[in-house]
Amino acid sequence: MLREEMYPDPDDMQVITGLDQLAALVAGNPLLYLRFSRGPAADAADGPTRDRAANLTLPGWSVLPVAPEPWWRRPVEDWVARRLHRYAACDETDGRFLWLLEGTMVGRGLDQEPLVIDIRPHARLSPKVLWEAERRYRERFEVEPGSGQW
């Protein structure tokens, strides 16, 4: 299999168009991760995540777990909205976007984020998902201004 076939163009990935659709996928597959980048093909070409300050290449790509923890008792949509909240202000003008993947965890980065290899792209998130997640976050969570909470 050619390397390019393993890492499809972002336009070839399934597009998640709603928070409910994303929550259903996450509920059915706790091994999904989120990544904010220029996509699988660009990540494959660029190589794993780099710690620029230390001038080190990490052993994998940094990702964000998206599945709720076992102790979470609220709806999956609330968990996912809270996870996506940090990306609400992101836009795709620099070519980066949010996408779902599966992979093998090989360690943790400096912020304790999982580092994965053997990436299997799953789907890309439409901007509408971020909008819905941000709306749900603001409706369902009470965060004090300046508290540093996501």
- Could you report the per-residue pLDDT of 83-120, keeping only the tens digit for each? 998 887 666 668 899 999 999 999 999 889 999 999 99
| 86 within a domain of the structure (yes/no) | yes
- The answer as to whether 108 is a domain residue is yes
pTM, 2 dp: 0.83
The helix or strand, by DSSP H or E, that contains position 118, with its residue range, turns out to be strand 114-125
Summarised one tens digit per residue, pLDDT across range 36-88 is: 999 999 999 999 999 999 999 999 999 999 999 999 999 999 999 999 988 87
7-27 confidence digits (pLDDT tens): 445 557 899 999 999 999 999
Question: How many domains does the chain divide into?
Answer: 1
- Of the chain, the percentage scoring pLDDT greater than 70 comes to 84
Q: Identify the helix (H) or strand (E) that includes residue 68.
A: none
CB 72 within 8 A of CB 14: no
Distance CA 21, CA 23 (A): 6
Any domain includes 90: yes
Inside any domain, residue 3 = no
CA distance 7 to 1: 11
Does residue 63 belong to any structural domain of this protein? yes
Alpha-carbon Rg for the chain, nearest whole angstrom, is 16
The CA distance from 150 to 88, in Å, is 11
Cα–Cα distance measured from residue 137 to residue 82, given in angstroms and rounded to the nearest whole number:
6
Q: What percent of the chain has pLDDT over 90?
A: 71
Has residue 150 been placed in a domain? no
- Domain housing 18: 13-140
The tokens describing 107, both together, are: 């360690």
Domain assignment present for 7: no
For residue 103, being part of any structural domain is answered with yes
Q: How many CB atoms lie within 10 A of CB 72?
A: 12
C-beta of residue 116 within 8 angstroms of C-beta of residue 54: no
Residues sharing a CB contact under 8 Å with residue 117, sequence separation 6 or more, in sequence order = 48, 59, 60, 61, 103, 104, 106
